[in-house]
Chains A and B, each alone.
Chain A
């Protein structure tokens, strides 16, 4: 159901969550196992490590109409591949400030650390992220009109 006007009653954002396979994806699974709920707008894409997330993926998501993109990885020091999340942290700091400069508000992008044991934390993070993006309304920057279905 496409919605054109931001903040319209009942409007729901499109949110892409990249989760690393070892910590955050398991954390999301644990949230499910414990039946903790978070908004259905969050759609998770599994990647081996948060450092697999190419800035292009995030730009693509905004181009295709995402309203928020969040990256979740293991806590610093706990990366399954030792150092992947440090790369993520540095890359995304740069990318997010660039996006901010382009008019994609900082609240629409986030990096969070969620371990495999933190189902509750995953839910808390998603709830707050969805709330923030919902408050901002629809993302109008970077979106490619040709990608809209109607």
Chain B
């Protein structure tokens, strides 16, 4: 399944986002708490999906840095909802490649006694099939 290519149509359909509504203001990237760690930033997700450059996004670790805080969704003046694009690319990669970003085997090393279950289920939902 490694030949699987995530297409623009799939991302647009799955996200329900219309990137053409974006006016390039940069509010999403101004508000993003994970900005510094990301390779591609929220406003680039919007622009690149619109342009059809999905493959670069699909390869990027930025997919796994979005914390679904929904700040960009809340504050976007054009109601574009960039986080939904991040999610759609991530979902497409994980479904298509059959791969998981997070291996259940690796989990025990990540846990500490206080870590709430919520963190684990959230990460499993986000990162695995």
Direct contact of A and B (CB under 8 A): no
Which B positions have Cβ atoms within 8 angstroms of A? none
Which A positions have Cβ atoms within 8 angstroms of B? none
